Amino acid sequence: MTTPAFAADATIEVRAVSKWFGQKVAVSDVSCSFGPGVTGLLGPNGAGKTTLLRMVCGLLEPSDGEVLVLGENLRRRPGGYRNLALVPEEDAVYGFLTTREFVRYAAVLSGLGGAAEADAAIEAVELQDAADRPISGFSKGMRQRAKVAAALVGSPGVLILDEPLNGTDPVQRARLIALFRRLGDEGHTVVVSSHVLAEVERTAGRVLAIVDGKLAAAGDVAAIRRAMTNIPYRVRIEVEDPRRLAAALAGDEDVSSIGVDGRLLHVETTDLPALGRRLPAAARSLDLTVRLFEPEDESLESVFRYLVRRR
């Protein structure tokens, strides 16, 4: 399939998956797939992101539907875990182990030699200096990096990251984001779930949004925004005399509202391309120079807000 919810060369297939816990439906009939590259999984709190990821990892059994990773159902064939690694949201580390021991533990359990692979993973997350300290004494950010190192060991084809940047400082965050992007570029399937939209925007080329357990949108951010035809675009325009331009644009059928703020004009329009075509002519006729023409709500945050607002 080639629709935005489905990736080409899918490594993870989610087929009509639902999950309920008693009366509570956490995930409802979600079908999508993930392939090489970085895919962001977004949603508000309680949307079902972690539930979906845990079903992908085989930790939860779907109430309906099935999940395949590289063609295998991991709950039936745990051998498939050779190609998958998880960085869970919870603090799943052994405090009594040092970083090196913890990462080596992960390596050996994954069928690898141990020492060399562990050291490479520790270096990738820049924890060499703390490699021989017990994890119990680590800050939250360092624990996250230890978890990421344990997941990276052996370079798995599929990497599932549930809120991987929690507790990390800005420098560490930037480096981890660069690492995830590099892995995506190298052909690994990286799925990142996060609340921090700006970071998902920097990391992921493709986004899946979950709201109330359902797949609400899929694709790249700009394309998702364009697909929201029922929501007017907001555009910011800078000119030396915004009121005269406002008067010229007010007559257009597609323009639903105009706001003036100093030298800025905030315009809401249902047809962004049409506005983009008419604006130069309108400015020329008034002898005005447009210094800025910028969509205000094509960011992931705006898209996300619209998606959540729709429910």
Q: Contact letters (x/-) for another protein, 28-47, by CB under 8 A?
A: --------------------
Based on the shown chain and the rule CB under 8 A, indicate whether residue 92 belongs to the binding site for another protein.
yes
Based on the shown chain and the rule CB under 8 A, indicate whether residue 86 belongs to the binding site for another protein.
yes
Q: Contact letters (x/-) for another protein, 134-173, by CB under 8 A?
A: ----------------x-----------------------
* Of the candidates 85, 117, 87, the residue with the CA atom closest to the CA atom of residue 188: 85
CA atoms within 13 A on the CB side of 76: 8
How crowded is residue 166: how many other Cβ atoms within 10 Å of its Cβ? 18
Place of tokens 């995506």: 184
For 163-310, list the strands marked E by DSSP. Answer: 189-193, 206-211, 214-219, 233-238, 255-261, 264-269, 292-295
- Of the residues 46, 111, 259, 276, which one makes contact with another protein according to CB under 8 A: 111
Of 80-88, 216-224, 227-235, 259-267, the window that binds another protein (rule: CB under 8 A) is 80-88
- Applying CB under 8 A, what is the total number of residues that bind another protein? 30
Helix or strand or coil: residue 30? strand
Strands 206-211 and 37-42: parallel
Q: Contact letters (x/-) for another protein, 230-259, by CB under 8 A?
A: ------------------------------
Contact 277, 253 (CB under 8 A): no
- Of the residues 5, 25, 59, 196, which one makes contact with another protein according to CB under 8 A: 59
Q: Which residues bind another protein (CB under 8 A)?
A: 54, 57-61, 75, 78-82, 84-86, 88, 90-94, 96-97, 105-106, 108-111, 150
